[in-house]
Structure 1
C-alpha cells in the first residue's frame, strides 16, 4: 500500500537521526524483539510491502513515548509507530475486532445518557473530567468540581469523550472528526478554557489546534486553598502517566498537592520524563497481553522496591495497576476520607458510577 507523505517524512527523520545506540531498546520489549528504530525506518523506506507488515506489528507497541523521551539525538521513533498505525487503518491491514470493548467505551461516552453538560450563564471555563475518573472515583470528581465552582461559580462541566482511543488505535479521521465537533461546539458556546483531570484528555486537547486554553485541574487546585482530608497513607511513590512526560508543571503540581497534605513522596527510579507505562497504553493488552504485563510488572516492581503505595493522576493507570499493588488516585487521596486505599471499581459498577455522577453532579 502507498505510504503517506507524513509517514515517509517521519521515517526519513528517524533514519537520518537514529544512531542505533540501543538505549530505547534496553527499556522496551517491543523494540528489543522488533529491531532498532533505525532498522525499522530503513526497512519501511525500502519497501511499501514491508510497511504493511510493520504497521501490523506496531499494535504490540504501548504508544508510551519512552523511546523518544530517552533518545539522545531526538530521532522521534514514537512518531513512526503512530504513523504506522494510521497507515494500518487507512489501508485496512489490521482489523480492530479485539478492541471492540474499548471503542464501545468511547462511543458510549459521546452519547446520552453518559454525555451531558452544565454551562451556567456567563460560563467561559469548563471542567472536563473524562470518562474513567467519574466511573472509578465519582465522589472525588464531585468534590473537585465543587472546589472549582467555589473559586468561580460560573465554571461549567462537560461529560464527553475526547476520542483518544480512536486516535491511539490509528483511526485518525474518526478521531479528528469527533474531537473537532466537540471543540468547535464548545467554542461556539463561548468556552475559552478547559480544566482537565484525565491526562489523556489533557494531551489530546493540547495536541488539537484550537483557541481553547487547556489547563490541568492539578495546577488549578494548587491555588484553590481547599483543605485536604486526613490521608489514608503517610508516604507514597508517584506513577506519572506516560502521556504527561513533557508536562513538568503537572508533575510539580501533583507533588506539591501531596506534600501540602502531609504526605511524603519517595520517587521511583523512572519518573516524570522517563516514567514507565502502566501497561494499558496503546491498548496493547487487547492484542498482546504479555507485552502489556511486561510494563505493568516493571512499574509494580519499582514501587515494591520503595515499599509504599503508588499514587497517580490517571484513573486508567489506577485500574490497570491497582489489582496488583495498592494504587490510589491523587484526587481520591486528597478529597475523600478513607481508611485504606480501595481496589479498582469493577464492571458494571464503573458504568453505574458514571450515571450516578451524571444525574447528581450536574
Structure 2
C-alpha cells in the first residue's frame, strides 16, 4: 500500500497529466524535498521539487520567467490549468526536466560566464510577487563591510604577540580597512540605486553544484530556492570566494579572469567596476577562515592553522595589490 507521501506525490503529478499507472517515483534525491520521476512508457525523467511556503513561490516564478526568456535552465512544466506549481499543505510543488549530467564539473570559466549571463538576463519589467520591501542602501553595505573589518582588527589586537600570526592578522586588518576606504570612494550609491531600478535579482547560492554541465554539453543553472531581489555584487563576492578557497589557486590569474569575463558578458554593470573591485579587495577568504575557527574555538597558533593562514594571507595580499591597481585604472 502506498504511503501518504507517495499518494500526495502521485496526486501532484496527476495535475501534469502524469498518473500512477504511467510513472515511477524512482528516487528521493533530497529527503522530503526532491524526487526523481520517470515516465514508464517514454523513459523520460523529471525532477519534482517541494518548496516550503515560508519561502514563497518566488523561486518557482523566477525559474519560469528565465525559462520563458530562453535562459539556460531546465524546462519547467505547466499543469493542466497552466500553473507552474501545485500548492498543498503549506508547500509548493513543481516539475522540471531532469538534466542528464556529463559526469564533469563546469570549469571556473564556465561558472563565471554562467553568473554573468544570469545577472544580465534576470531583469524583468515587473516585480515577481511578492514584491520586496526594500533594497540595501549604501550605508547598509558600508556598515556590513565596516563590521567585518572591525572583527579582523579585534582579532589582530587579541593576538598581538609580535609573532608570525600577529603580523599576518595586522596585515589582513590593514587590507580590510583599505578595502573599506576604497568602497567609500566608489560610486556605490549610484550602483545601489541602479540595481533597485533594474529590479536586480541574486541567485543567492551560486556554488559549483548549482551549475550543471549536461551530457549534451549544455550548461544549466538550477536551484533558485535562495534567490532574492538584491545587489548582484553579493553573488559576485560569493563566486570570488569559492574560486579562491584553495590557497594553491593563482589569486591574480583567477581575479583577472573573473573581472574580464564577467563584465564582458554583463556589460550593464561595467560603470560600477570600482564598486566590485573595492569589495573584492577585502580578504574575504581569510576572514571566513579565521572567523570560522574562532566560532569553533580552534587554535589559530597550531602549525597546521598557521601554515594555512599564511598561504591564504599571501593569496589575499597578491589579490589586493592587483585590485588596487585595477581600482586606480577604473577610477
TM-score norm. by structure 2 comes to 0.26
Tell me which structure has the larger Cα radius of gyration.
2
